[in-house]
Structure 1
Amino acid sequence: MFDPYKLQLDDLKDRDPKYLETIFSIGNGHFGSRATDPLKPTHDGGTVINGFYESSPIIYGEQAYGYAKNHQTIINLPDLRSIQIAEGDGQFFATEQLISQTLNLKTGIMTTESTLTSPSGHRIRLALQAILGQHRQQAAAFRYTLTALNFSGPVRMAKQLWLDAADTQSDDPRLARSVQTLNFTHSANESGQQVVVTTDRSQLQAGIKIDAPAKWELTLDESISNSFDVLAAVGPIVDAAVAYPELALPESFDILAEDAQTYWNKTWANGNVEITGDDALAQGIHYNLFQLNSSAGRDGLTNIAAKGVSGTGYEGHYFWDTEMYMLPYFTLTNPTIARSLLAYRYHVLPAAKKRARELGVDHGALFAWRTINGEEASAYYPAGTAQYHINGDIAYAIGQYFAATGDFAFMRDMGFEILLETAKFWANFGSWFTVHGESHFGFFDVTRPDEYTAIVDNNFYTNKIAQHNLQLVVAVARAFEKAGQAIPLGVTESDLTELARIAKGIYLPVDDALKIHPQDDSFLKKPRWPFATTPKDKYPLLLHFHPLTIYRYQVNKQADTLLADYLFPDSISDSQTQRDYAYYEPVTTHDSSLSRAIFSAVAARLGMAGKAYAYFTDTARMDLVDLQGNAADGLHLANLGGSWLSIITGFAGVKYTGAQLSVTNHLPEQWESLAFIINYQGRVLKFTLTHGTTIASLEFGEPIDVVIDGHQRVIS
């Protein structure tokens, strides 16, 4: 019987080993383990620690002031799964056939079964179970079960903290560069091994410890299973100048499995999504939420990399992906993790202030477009640093978190300062100008979310998100006053008045002829991309055409103006959004994995059921069908969060402010029902949507007013 909380090898068409390493990877926010063949470790497999990186200088053909100075590349550490098995005479077993792989989404246990064969023809069945601690985030455990199929006798085991430092340089900007500047300190005794890895340039170190000796021997009897466990600890990231701490191994495989089980029980209880009527999509959303939880940093010092901890793609960098596509899930299901993810941005705020000064803005902060340590690591500033909208994206996420939680302590300690510093940046970065005799405030030479158009004036999305950032400072200041608290950081009434004045003046035009929001001042003047004569094998465009070729045309990599329409439904009418959708959909390639989820959610809100469902089916199983063609390099984490957004904000029509939560039923006709759980204002609420009916129940907390399908109801 099909179980939508398990992923099986037979559920996938692709059998490429690198792809399977990604899909069956497991993580806990601190580190991840790719699902490698344990007898054949590769440079693509191994252990990835969130935030553990090495720096290297960016070499430019022509240098200029303010360019990003250093690459930051996440490090692939020794593979915890790898093992060598040899016959008594020294001949090694190799994997003959992969029999099965299973990822249990309710327990977090990943199981691999395979048959092994030796040159002499002896065969063994190997079952490997892997589990990572979720509360004990440094811990991992691996259970190996060997069954001799056609012989009896001794086998020699060898388990070493092995690393392939092969050079894997590529012209694909989505891949990580190889790291050659690592130092390894290895120690071993009869009870176990430890390796400490130190980086030359970033001066960080991290360690791995296992309780297995380098070599030992077992005696196998035909058809009788023999099991042994290997316990591991993957240590914290520390400064290279200090002595590395002693790593604590877990007590046992079973105790660690209980740790993980407790975590996953709570995760599903507080944020599950259940689809009735399509098992494949139900499995897809469960898988996506499992991997989203597996990749989120929980310590306030790390975030969510573009590939999570499932691989080294995009060099382990953090982007706007977190705040726009992934953090909304945690805000409404696990506010503690959401707070930690936002705390990371506060942690790197000093670097953001410094970056603003480098860009010639004397006040405020500008967050790095791609980074690990807070410093800009994008070597191509037109599609990197120029995406100033990241400031507004972070501010928007803080506003949503505050609206959902009412967490005044966070706002006073961290959130309000981020809002204020990003607002100061907008106020000092933008300029007043005149259009048709009216004074407006705008932003020049910016790059929008759609990276297929760069360095333009008055991108609609950027202007809208900046306006919201400025308005949010005023709104939160008033919330402090209403709560009887002083406005933090000495902000005065005149400060708020000036921010409100700028926000009101921000340029947000509608084209007179087309009645749509122009994506920027020049977009509508350009010719459309020649889609009819572009072969399918030339997508994504960024890998086949010079950026300057792409920039000359009307072509979108992903949702841009439509993303603004999605984020601000209370200030942009449905009729306006409908016109924008009709215009921009035909020029959007969806070359970015971030795109389809927004098109799905907006279509659902507008009643375009067919489009909404078609785009959603692509998001729900994007990596499980390898829609983007590069899942081997790591999962598309933003899309994982985007699939949840498609369901919750699209099909369920969830919208909220600090004062009001609303749900609007857009259940697809293909489903029998949809049920989901969210956390809002200290309540745990469950909603069940069927055709024509929306039922709400309060699982925890005080009664609350909720607008359901246009009618206000008290849920108690």
Structure 2
Amino acid sequence: MTQKAYVDEVLLKVKPSIRMDRRQIFDEYNVDMTKGERFTFVKYANVYTTIDSDVGSDTISDISIDAIKRSSLLNYDELLNKSANAWNINVWQRSLISIDSDDVKPQVAINFARYQLAANTPKDSRMNIGAKGLTGEGYKGHTFWDTEIYMLPYFTFTMPEMARNLLKYRYLGLDGARKKAKANGYWGAQFPWESAWSTDGEMTPPWGSVDIVTGKPMRILSGSLEQHITSDVVIAVMQYLSITKDERFAEEMGYEIILDAAKFWASRLEWDPARKKFVIDNVIGPDEYKEHIDNSAFTNYTAFWCIQKAIAVIDLLRNSNPEIYNGLNLKLKLDEAYQDWISKVNLIFLPKPNEFDVIPEDDTYLQKKIIETAQYQSDGGHAKIFKDYNLQQINDLQVTKQADVLLLVFLFEDLFSDDIKLANWNYYEPKTTHDSSLSFSTHSILASDLNLADTAYDYFERACEVDLGTGVGKSAQGLHMASIGGIWNMIVEGFGGIRVLDGQLRIEPHLPSKWNSLHFEINWHGSLLKIDVYKDTFQVSVLGDAITFINHNEIYHVAANSKIEIPISIEVNVED
């Protein structure tokens, strides 16, 4: 660290004196000044650590000092301009997004989200985004499924090189995931629920807060039971490959992640002779109020999907790239695994909609007691539920912490009809407390899909207020990075109607009535798409190669470096 001092922009040649106090050290300047003169102090500092990939322990001091000397050749304004230019080039001018509305808050929210996502994302693939980013010590800086489900869509569509880095983190963690699977008696890779350094493996603490009934610390079971994280990683990998067509990543890392995840799920299945199906018992789904449940709909469907994708990968590689297949086969014993998957995949138990089109969240959820949940859904209300019930009691109620079945029908919307989606919305939305900031964005996007325009916008505003509203005290332990990623998701995937379905791009906008227009950019197969959404039409401009997309089951082709305009047709569902 070094510093400079100025009086009216004239650099002082006097050196400060050093004064020390208990646990404190000061630089003191004694300067003669006259009324009206301005004193300016500029401190130059940097941070290097021995874990930096380009820094060694024997050179770290020299590198730091050399960098300080270079920086100190510039004054504050010059350094500020240099930083601003870097932000403009690397963030603000990439994949622009603007909202034309009389209310400035939505634009402020998306600018805030993009800033935080850029500032809190490491460029070193040995690290990932913590649930609180770098803004606080909540969750000890650990990484969760938040990255794959709630933040990676932003990076994959707008900064694919950053998305690749974040996914490489999971590849570097494969050995730890394999050790976890082996320790639990399974094959393949079981990814950690909480992770830190890429090779550390599972980092979930074993104990949490005190039970209000027993007075004893509660066991944290997510590290062992919240196994859908393995599917979440594959979901992100498949989305990245669909959007970028990055074959090099697929061959070097992506295929191996998908295949080893499928090996885990195949070994995790248990045969139920009564059902004559393979089941998955004793898990926690996205609804973390429910522990030790059997056949979580989200878990079972995503496990089934993972194995399906792994089978497709092997079929592809055997036919088109036998050299890559042979290398992976030697490493993962794929010939044997493939036969295992083929014999099991179509016998996996997938919870089906009941006579009311409701998909059971798990084997017993629909038989649990129903209570009035409105008091727990208001801002801050979800905290009250743990003053009325302990976790075991909540486990026996039809109360859901965050989007669970609704997340399933959002992520895998092609598996479910609109009637089934709406029936599950009507059933689960009133029972959800949103005791996780992750929940609002999923509800907003799904409401947009269901043409529940007012509800979609209400959830959007609630999500924006998590870290920007009047009750920001809940951000004391750090910002809610998944919710921040969800702001972009709600605008682009919800209101912009962007979705990737079975490798194809779908665009079906739902412009909020409070907005005049929405303008955003995404990357698709190496081309930049500029999408302008208005009240009655939307335009897709392509900078790059020709693309195709789907709109209300119609396929549209856009030639290279051209644009197309399409009318918007939306039936708004009547809301109570």
Task: Note the C-alpha offset of 1:156.
Answer: 7.6
Cα contact 1:403–1:657 (8 A) shared by 2:
no
2:522 corresponds to 1:707: no
1:407 matched to 2:251? The reply is no
State whether residues 263 and 337 of structure 2, in contact with CA within 8 Å, keep that contact through their aligned partners in structure 1. Answer: no
Match of 2:82 in 1: 258
Is it true that 1:603 corresponds to 2:440 in the alignment?
no
The structure with more helix, counted as a fraction of residues = 2
Q: Which residue of 1 aligns with 2:202?
A: 376
How big is the shift at 1:696?
A: 0.8
Contact 1:158/1:215 (<8 A) preserved? yes
Partner of 2:224: 385
Kept in 2: contact 1:518–1:524 (CA 8 A): yes
Residue 272 in structure 1 maps to residue 96 in structure 2:
yes
Who is 2:212 aligned against? none
**Alignment-mate amino acid for residue 702 of structure 1:** D
Give the alignment partner of residue 310 of structure 1, picking from 123, 135, 156: 135
Other-structure match for 2:313 = 476
2:302 aligns with 465
Matched with 2:361 is 519
| Alignment match, 1:56 | none
Matched, 1:326 2:158: no
**Is the contact made by 1:288 and 1:620 (CA closer than 8 Å) also made in structure 2?**
no
Structure 1 236/518 Cα, relative in aligned 2: closer, same or farther at 3 Å?
same
Matching residue's letter, 1:618: R
CA–CA separation in structure 2 for the residues paired with 1:466 and 1:388: 10
After TM superposition, list the pairs within 5 Å mapping 1:613-624 onto structure 2: 613-624=457-468
User: Within 5 A, what are the aligned runs for 1:146-225?
Assistant: 214-225=27-38
Alignment of 1:372-451 (within 5 A): 372-373=196-197, 374-378=200-204, 379=206, 380-435=219-274, 439-451=276-288
Aligned pair 1:293/2:135, yes or no?
A: no
Does residue 499 in structure 1 map to residue 341 in structure 2? Answer: yes
- Name the structure 1 match of 2:571: none
Residues 270, 678 of structure 1: 8 Å contact kept: no
1:182-208, CA deviations, whole angstroms, 9 ceiling, x for partnerless residues? Answer: xxxxxx9xxxxxxxxxxxxxxxxxxxx
- How big is the shift at 1:315? 1.2
Matched, 1:556 2:400: yes
- Output the CA distance in 2 between the equivalents of 1:690 and 1:628: 33
Structure 2 Cα separation of the partners of residues 142 and 287 of structure 1? 31
- Contact between 1:157 and 1:218, CA under 8 Å: does it hold in 2? no
Kept in 2, the 8 Å contact 1:664–1:710? The answer is no
Structure 1 residue identity aligned to 2:203: A
Does structure 2 conserve the Cα–Cα contact (< 8 Å) formed by 1:155 and 1:217?
A: no
Higher strand share: 1
Structure 1 residues 155 and 584 mapped into 2: Cα distance closer, same or farther (>3 Å)?
farther
Check conservation: 2:373, 2:399, Cα contact below 8 A.
no
Aligned partner letter, 2:356: L
Instruction: Give 1:637 deviation, angstroms.
Output: 0.3
Residues 694 and 708 of structure 1 are in contact (CA less than 8 Å); yes or no, is this contact kept in structure 2? no
1:635 positional shift: 0.8
SS of 1:576's partner is helix
Structure 1 residues 237 and 444: CA distance shift in structure 2, 3 A: farther
Residue 231 of structure 1 pairs with residue 44 of structure 2: yes
Question: In structure 2, what residue type is equivalent to 1:650?
Answer: G
Cα distance in 2, alignment partners of residues 237 and 619 from structure 1: 38
Q: How far 1:621 sits from its partner (Å)?
A: 3.4
Gaps of 5+ in 1: 1-79, 81-140, 148-153, 165-187, 189-212
Residues 158/606 of structure 1: CA separation in 2 closer, same or farther (3 Å cut): farther
- 1 CA distance for matches of 2:6 and 2:475? 29
Post-superposition Cα deviations, 1:472-503, rounded to whole Å, max 9, x if no partner, equal 21233344456545425016566334324433
Residue aligning to 1:670: 514
Give the deviation of 1:671 after TM superposition: 0.7
Distance 1:663-1:404 versus aligned 2 partners, 3 A rule: same
Cα distance in 2 between the residues matched to 1:639 and 1:531: 22
For the residues of structure 2 that align with 1:400 and 1:696, how far apart are their CA atoms? 21
1:617-656 equivalences in 2 (<5 Å): 617-627=461-471, 629-656=473-500
User: Aligned residue for 1:131?
Assistant: none
Deviation for aligned residue 1:422 = 1.4
Find the aligned partners of 1:543 and 1:683 in 2 and give their Cα distance.
Answer: 49
Contact 2:50 2:60 in 1 (8 A): no
**1:349-373 deviation digits (Å, cap 9, x = unpaired):** 1111111122222x11211111213
1:283 alignment partner in structure 2: 108
- Alignment root-mean-square deviation, CA: 3.1
Answer whether contact 2:261 2:306 (CA < 8 A) is retained. Answer: yes
- Mapping of 1:109-124 within 5 angstroms? none
TM-score norm. by structure 2 comes to: 0.83
Distance 1:608 1:657, change over 3 A: closer
